[in-house]
């Protein structure tokens, strides 16, 4: 079963509009972390934002915020006031807790294209 599901393979958004990228996850571990990464066409993986399972407030980092709905196992990324430079692949990833299990499990990604 998929542990990280990103249901939007691609999205087109007008510049300056807000955009929400969906991510749902599946875990029975009470301790986990959720990450969003951006991968531009150049290929590098850029860390955007993190949400811990015990965090009481939704994470925010500049124009990025994470809409964390724990009961629904949802961790959507919201980008406010989108810019042309936001065009990229976006990946949601999860780290489950445990003594040695700290690798990331990845979603399939969403390709975001910002239109001028």
Min separation Cβ 4 and another protein, Å? 10
Using CB under 8 A as the binding rule, whether residue 78 contacts another protein is answered as no
Among 95, 110, 112, 114, binds another protein (CB under 8 A): 95
The answer to whether residue 91 forms part of the interface with another protein (CB under 8 A) is: yes
Question: What is the DSSP secondary structure assignment for residue 82, as one 8-state letter?
Answer: -
- The span from the CA of 82 to the CA of 88, in Å, is 12
User: Whole-number minimum distance, CB 100 to another protein, in Å?
Assistant: 5
* Bridge partner residues of 78 (DSSP): 20, 65
Beta carbons within 8 Å of 67's beta carbon, 6+ residues apart: 20, 58, 74, 75, 76, 77, 78
What are the tokens at 54? 């015990």
Strand pairing report for 60-61 and 46-52: unpaired
The reply to whether 104 sits near another protein by the rule CB under 8 A is: yes
Residues 12-71 touching another protein, rule: CB under 8 A, are 33, 35, 37, 42-47, 50, 52
Query: Of the listed pieces 8-16, 19-27, 68-76, 96-104, which binds another protein according to CB under 8 A?
Result: 96-104
Token digits of residue 10: 């691609």
- Applying CB under 8 A, the residues found at the interface with another protein are 33, 35, 37, 42-47, 50, 52, 91, 93, 95, 100-106, 108-109
């Amino acid at each position: 079963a998929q542990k990280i599901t990103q249901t939007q393979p691609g999205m087109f958004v007008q510049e300056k509009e807000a955009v929400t990228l969906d991510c749902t996850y599946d875990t029975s571990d009470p301790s986990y972390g959720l990450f969003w990464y951006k991968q531009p066409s150049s290929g590098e993986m850029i860390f955007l934002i993190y949400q811990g399972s015990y965090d009481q407030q939704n994470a925010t980092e500049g124009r990025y915020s994470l809409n964390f709905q724990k009961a629904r196992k949802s961790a959507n990324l919201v980008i406010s006031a989108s810019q042309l430079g936001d065009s990229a692949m976006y990946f949601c990833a999860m780290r489950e807790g445990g003594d040695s299990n700290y690798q990331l499990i990845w979603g399939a990604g969403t390709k975001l294209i910002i239109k001028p």
